[in-house]
Amino acid sequence: MKDFAVESKKVNPASISDGEWLREDRHSLGREVLSAPTGLQAKEGLGQVTLSWNPVPGASGYTLLRRANNGEEFVEVDHHGGDVKAFPGTAYTDTTGELGEKYQYAVAAIAAPEGPRGQLSDFVVAASRWQGDGEIRMWVDVTHTTGDIHPIWRMIGSEHLSQMASREIVGGKFVGEDFFNALAMAKEQLGVQRVRAHGIFLDELQVYSLNAEEPVMNFGTVDDIYDRLLSLGLKPVVELSFMPKDLAADPNPTVFHYQAHISPPSSWIRWEQLVKTFVQHLIARYGVEEVSQWGFEVWNEPNLAVFWTASQAEYFHMYEVTVRAVKAVDTRLWVGGPATAASGWIPEFLRYVKEHELPLDFLATHTYGNMPLDFRTMLAQVGLAQTEIWWTEWGVTPTHFAPVNDSAFGAPFVLHGLKQAQNSVDFLAYWVISDQFEELGRGNKLFHGGFGLLTVGGLRKPRFWALRLAEEMGTVQLAYDMTGDGARTLVDAWVTRHDNGTVDVLIWNGTMNQHQQSGYPWLDRTVKVQLSHLKPGAYRVALARVDQGHSNIIRAWNETKDWPNELEWQQLQALDRLDEVVVHSHLALEQDTFHFAFDLPMPGVARLRLEPIDGITDFQ
């Protein structure tokens, strides 16, 4: 990757009209060579180096670079997430270097992942340490509130919903029943409200066919699917995909085990007719007040040839035809795109939307193995500041059948992402809820590295528990101070208070470096927490853990076997619980301060909960 020495063009969207902006700068959106970040600092730590810098206006993320010697070129730091390497925040913990080896670090801003890298910052020199103090200290004032936490995790991915009708048996479980139960668990235990899935136009649903060259549309099977989903209290995000075979310009290329057609339509008029008729049917069946809460997403990852055989321009035309068709039925319905992989095509898509005066209710895109980039500024630049941002696929890895999907590494990763994206994302949909997953074929054993938060059979993996702990937090966020080795980067936290006075300290320890997914002893930490201004009284104190040794159901299974028998399923289900220890069943607190210390391995998550036995709620 080259260094770009030219300065970025300075544009203040608030100072000129949208039309002027488009004429003057329409080709530079996402292509700006941003200025160099200032204030780069490095802090050497045990097993890690923490870098921090000042934000750059217009940046969606930052690229961290490193070299061992002056004569070498800077190389982008790779945390092996398998997708976009750029990071959205202004602080990053690097654990990919050799212990004790000094490196020169620099950082550059990017406006978009496919755009040019900005100017390099001045470099700093740092090395991780072999030994030293691995202590994290936290101070919490339970009377000092800082606002609410946004539950951006309440959208989930679920593969194609027609699995609910499947009578196939996998691992001794009926796929349809097991998948339905997984969706129910998402609603009941994770607070999920919306479900995003592929393929509502799959041929197996018999939505579209030709009879004597005339279109025949049948939405009866779709109705059954949506009826069942709505019966759980869940709302679909309707991914308008894939192309019915009889409407495909080329019916031969397909994707996935269920052979989804990935061609554009043979007739744009008939595609528009299908979309419009489908949406009219949904409103007639469920009512516009209901359907206006769903969201219609145009296609899936058209920037990948495996999902779209045509060009970028043809996808943009598809978005235009589709959004106009949906809005022609009712303008209250929400439509979004481009649903791209690896945050691709965002600047080009936004330019097209603006130039063609198209509605865009939510910007949809995907990323894996990293935190979501921040596209708020880019939306504002094109006059779409009110457009929501839905990451309709996100996860610890883009690779199915990857061991990291079953490991404890994903638990702190999930919490890092939820906190990092609080102010830049409206929904962050984990992909997917269940290992009942057909895209690349069914899993051949219980722990096969499936994308699911749940195994076949509904056993909860560490990532599920991380989301469950987030959902169980209180309604009020509390301020805290944190210091120590890797504080607020490697190790981060949320502290909340419930209406009954219960205080939760949710803290996690996780690197981005997936080569350390099985642990790295130099990154283990000891946490010391002090809670102050508590009301004197009696408290129940409990510590919950999620790490390799706790809330990690894979430890209870003999991995030399493929699937449990009936007795083993019962044993596993009995062991499938959050590991929580009651530290004090009746702590008589006479003063207003409570101290507690515990070990926090990497990867690891812990929740310290103080629950007033008498329901203390007066914190004034």
- Across 61-75, 326-340, 344-358, 380-394, least confident range: 61-75
pTM for this predicted structure: 0.94
Q: Examine the pLDDT at 19 and tell me if it is beyond 60.
A: no
With respect to residue 207, please indicate whether it lies within any of the assigned structural domains.
yes
Who contacts 535 (Cβ-Cβ below 8 Å, separation ≥6)? 501, 592, 612, 616, 618, 619
Residue 204 is predicted with a pLDDT of 94
Residue 385 is predicted with a pLDDT of 96
**If you average pLDDT over residues 145-153, what whole number do you get?**
95
Who contacts 102 (Cβ-Cβ below 8 Å, separation ≥6)? 68, 125, 126, 127
- CA distances 55 to 65, 89, 90, 122, 368, Å, are 16, 8, 6, 14, 23
CATH of the domain at 78: 2.60.40.10
For residues 228 and 193, membership in a common domain is answered with yes
For residues 96 and 227, membership in a common domain is answered with no
Question: What whole-number distance in Å separates Cα of residue 299 and Cα of residue 336?
Answer: 10
With respect to residue 620, please indicate whether it lies within any of the assigned structural domains.
no
Place of tokens 């061992």: 68
- Mean pLDDT for the chain? 93
Q: Examine the pLDDT at 618 and tell me if it is beyond 80.
A: no
Q: Say how many C-beta atoms besides its own lie within 10 A of residue 221's C-beta.
A: 16
% pLDDT > 70, the chain: 95
**How many Cα atoms within 13 Å fall on the side-chain side of residue 503?**
28
CATH of the domain at 485: 2.60.40.1500
* Among the listed residues 112, 133, 10, the one whose alpha carbon sits nearest the alpha carbon of residue 61: 112
User: Tokens for 553?
Assistant: 């159901």
For residues 489 and 514, membership in a common domain is answered with yes
Q: Examine the pLDDT at 5 and tell me if it is beyond 50.
A: no
Q: Provide the sign of the torsion angle of the four alpha carbons 388, 334, 321, 17, taken in this order.
A: negative
Query: Amino acid identity of 301?
Result: E
**If you average pLDDT over residues 192-214, what whole number do you get?**
96
With respect to residue 619, please indicate whether it lies within any of the assigned structural domains.
no
For residues 73 and 213, membership in a common domain is answered with no
Q: Examine the pLDDT at 617 and tell me if it is beyond 80.
A: no
3-state SS, one letter per residue, for 241-283: CCCCHHHECCCCCEECCCCEECCCECCHHHHHHHHHHHHHHHH
Q: Which of 471, 503, 528 lies at the terminal end of a domain, its last residue?
A: 471
Over the stretch 546-577, which tens digit does the pLDDT of each residue have?
999 999 999 999 999 999 999 999 999 999 99
Q: CA torsion, points 58, 59, 60, 62, in degrees to nearest 10?
A: 180
Question: What whole-number distance in Å separates Cα of residue 230 and Cα of residue 372?
Answer: 29
Q: Examine the pLDDT at 375 and tell me if it is beyond 70.
A: yes
SS3 526: strand
Residue 27 is predicted with a pLDDT of 59
Number of domains in the chain: 3
Q: Examine the pLDDT at 323 and tell me if it is beyond 80.
A: yes
Query: Amino acid identity of 316?
Result: F
For residues 274 and 338, membership in a common domain is answered with yes
Q: Examine the pLDDT at 579 and tell me if it is beyond 90.
A: yes
* Among the listed residues 196, 234, 221, the one whose alpha carbon sits nearest the alpha carbon of residue 278: 221
SS3 321: helix
Q: Say how many C-beta atoms besides its own lie within 10 A of residue 420's C-beta.
A: 19
Strand locations in 476-578, DSSP E? 476-484, 491-497, 503-509, 525-532, 537-547
> Which helix (H) or strand (E) covers residue 381, if one does?
helix 376-381
Q: Examine the pLDDT at 162 and tell me if it is beyond 80.
A: yes
Confidence of residue 475 (pLDDT cuts 50, 70, 90): confident
Q: Examine the pLDDT at 3 and tell me if it is beyond 60.
A: no
For residues 285 and 430, membership in a common domain is answered with yes
Over the stretch 233-258, which tens digit does the pLDDT of each residue have?
999 999 999 999 999 999 999 999 99
For residues 445 and 516, membership in a common domain is answered with no
With respect to residue 463, please indicate whether it lies within any of the assigned structural domains.
yes
**If you average pLDDT over residues 512-531, what whole number do you get?**
98
- Across 15-19, 207-211, 483-487, 605-609, least confident range: 15-19
Q: Which of 438, 455, 471 lies at the terminal end of a domain, its last residue?
A: 471
With respect to residue 4, please indicate whether it lies within any of the assigned structural domains.
no
Over the stretch 361-372, which tens digit does the pLDDT of each residue have?
999 999 999 999
CATH of the domain at 267: 3.20.20.80
For residues 184 and 219, membership in a common domain is answered with yes
* Contact criterion met (CB below 8 Å) for 41 and 125: no
Q: Provide the sign of the torsion angle of the four alpha carbons 384, 387, 393, 395, taken in this order.
A: positive
Phi then psi dihedrals of residue 406, to 5 deg: -100, -5
For residues 261 and 384, membership in a common domain is answered with yes
Residue 371 is predicted with a pLDDT of 97
For residues 324 and 293, membership in a common domain is answered with yes
Q: Examine the pLDDT at 149 and tell me if it is beyond 50.
A: yes
Question: What whole-number distance in Å separates Cα of residue 131 and Cα of residue 152?
Answer: 38
* Contact criterion met (CB below 8 Å) for 236 and 226: yes
Cα 482 to chain centroid distance, Å, stands at 25
Who contacts 410 (Cβ-Cβ below 8 Å, separation ≥6)? 396, 404, 461, 462, 463, 466, 603
Confidence of residue 8 (pLDDT cuts 50, 70, 90): very low
Q: Examine the pLDDT at 11 and tell me if it is beyond 90.
A: no
**If you average pLDDT over residues 599-618, what whole number do you get?**
88
**If you average pLDDT over residues 195-212, what whole number do you get?**
96
Q: Which residue has the higher pLDDT, 109 or 616?
A: 109
With respect to residue 406, please indicate whether it lies within any of the assigned structural domains.
yes
Residue 72 is predicted with a pLDDT of 87
Residue 28 is predicted with a pLDDT of 81
Confidence of residue 14 (pLDDT cuts 50, 70, 90): very low
> Which residues form the domain of 257?
155-471
Q: Where are the alpha helices (DSSP H) in 71-118?
A: none
SS3 337: strand
**If you average pLDDT over residues 292-309, what whole number do you get?**
98
With respect to residue 584, please indicate whether it lies within any of the assigned structural domains.
yes
* Contact criterion met (CB below 8 Å) for 83 and 367: yes
Q: Which of 446, 471, 496 lies at the terminal end of a domain, its last residue?
A: 471
Residue 620 is predicted with a pLDDT of 52
Over the stretch 47-100, which tens digit does the pLDDT of each residue have?
999 999 999 999 999 999 999 987 789 999 999 999 999 999 999 999 999 999
For residues 244 and 330, membership in a common domain is answered with yes
With respect to residue 368, please indicate whether it lies within any of the assigned structural domains.
yes
Residue 263 is predicted with a pLDDT of 97
Q: Examine the pLDDT at 619 and tell me if it is beyond 60.
A: no
Residue 615 is predicted with a pLDDT of 66
Residue 492 is predicted with a pLDDT of 98
For residues 178 and 96, membership in a common domain is answered with no
